[in-house]
Amino acid sequence: MSTTVTNKFMNAENINKINTVGIIGMGKVGSCIATFLNENSFSDKNNLPKLSWICSKYFTNYSIFPSLKIFKNINEINEIPDAIIICKSDNFIKKTSDDLANYFKEKLAGKFIIHCAGSFGIELLSECKKYDARTVAAHPFQTFLTNDSFNDFNSNSSENLQKSKKINSLKNCLKNISWGIECEKNDDFTVANFIKSLNGNPVFLPEKVLKNKAFYHTVAVAASNYLATSIYFAGLLADEIGINKNDFLKPIINQTVQNSFVYFDENSKQFPITGPIVRSNFDTISKHLEALKNDETLLNSYSYFGFALLELAQNSNILTQENYFEIKKIFQEFMKNK
């Protein structure tokens, strides 16, 4: 099972502490961490880590961090903090790590180099490891809002209020989320303390998960991306037929999510699902597809969701083999004839 660090060990003496942090990349995750850490600079709580600098080629919202060092490229960085967090997309993490290693070399010794990608482990940071950096993969198991409202603020009160709300939203988005962590055993408590300082829940991933990080990350994708896609699709259908999304969708979505949490009970094997597919209402399914047949996007999307539901319902022994194949045939016939 996953290991969550307890407070008993969080207060242990003589544990290295991350006091200063630099962030490379100011996308969604980087913006949240940077905003949170930057606020610490104005806090009376001196035990909180402070933000030393950010490095981002495309960041232009200097008014958000007026007293902070902002670099465009790695070769401009003139100080190495206790930890450098790489918050770039998966495709650029290894290159960023390689660039840090090539530029700073032995200066990385003892420093924490952290990436936040879910699908990869510390192997992406191997070049930094060669110079005795302490490498960490720490994945925040959360979805983050887009960072699209920091540009073009001026001094008028309305935009200052908007900026203040955005900052508050970003600095609170890390609260109470779990971080899936891989690091050297000797660094467990330092890393756990740091994640705790971000208001997070540090969880050290077991060996089975570390050997298949891609599978681990599919859990986050299913919980967030696929759920958001389902809700967005329902909204498209509501718009097309002309019913109000707020009136009709919010109550049913909220209740569905609550119903689904029944499955999280360790003693429950129940698939909390209802509707025409699990009731094997063949005529209703056909009518739904008939109603959507003139819009290829809606028909395909509804059908693919139906196929997924079919597979899970069959796997949960909700459908008989006969009904499973009959419903699958209905979907296939409509898609073939669209």
Q: What is the mean pLDDT of the chain?
A: 88
Residues 271 and 320 reside in one and the same domain: yes
Q: Which of 154, 180, 210 is the last residue of a domain?
A: 210
Q: How far apart are CA 92 and CA 112, in angstroms?
A: 18
Domain boundary among 188, 210, 232: 210
pLDDT exceeds 90 at position 160: no
Given a cut of 70, whether residue 137 has pLDDT beyond it is yes
Predicted local distance difference test score (pLDDT) of residue 296: 94
> Is 222 found in the same domain as 206?
no
The domain in which residue 223 lies consists of: 218-336
- Are residues 19 and 149 both part of a single domain? yes
Q: Judge whether 46 and 72 are in contact, CB under 8 Å.
A: no
pLDDT of amino acid 10: 40
The pLDDT tens digits of the residues spanning 44-68 come to 666 789 999 999 998 887 778 888 9
> Distance between CA atoms of 315 and 32, rounded to whole angstroms?
39
Q: Which residues contact 65 (CB under 8 A, 6 or more apart)?
A: 34, 38, 51, 54
Alpha-carbon distance of 138 to 32, in angstroms, equals 15
Mean pLDDT, residues 132-143 taken together:
97
Structure confidence by residue, pLDDT tens digits, 88-116: 999 999 999 999 999 999 999 999 999 99
CA distance 226 to 68: 37
pLDDT single digits (tens) 13-27: 334 899 999 999 999
More confident residue, 337 or 42: 337
For residues 81 and 199, membership in a common domain is answered with: yes
Residue 147 and residue 105 in one domain:
yes
pLDDT band (50, 70, 90) for residue 140: very high
Per-residue pLDDT of 221-256, as tens digits, reads 999 999 999 999 999 999 999 999 999 999 999 999
Q: Is the pLDDT of residue 281 over 50?
A: yes
Has residue 85 got a pLDDT over 60?
A: yes
Name the percent of the chain lying above pLDDT 70.
85
Query: Do residue 139 and residue 264 come from a single domain?
Result: no
Residue 5: pLDDT above 60?
no
If asked whether residues 328 and 255 sit together in one domain, one would say yes
Q: Same domain for 167 and 31?
A: yes
CATH number at residue 200: 3.40.50.720
Count of domains observed in the chain: 2
pLDDT tens readout for residues 209-223:
999 999 999 999 999
Do 200 and 226 belong together in one domain? no
Report the C-alpha dihedral over residues 160, 166, 171, 174, rounded to 10 degrees.
180
Of 170, 185, 210, the domain-final residue: 210
Block residue for tokens 């979505």: 253
Q: How far is CA 117 from CA 13, 65, 306, in A?
A: 30, 25, 31
**pLDDT number for residue 159:** 56
39 and 184 in a single domain? The answer is yes
78 shares a domain with 156: yes
Q: What is the mean pLDDT of residues 266-292?
A: 92
What does pTM read for this prediction? 0.86
Is the domain of 117 the same as that of 60? yes
pLDDT grade for 148, boundaries at 50, 70 and 90 = very low
Query: Which pLDDT score, from 0 to 100, does residue 47 have?
Result: 77
Q: Residue 335 pLDDT > 90, yes or no? A: no
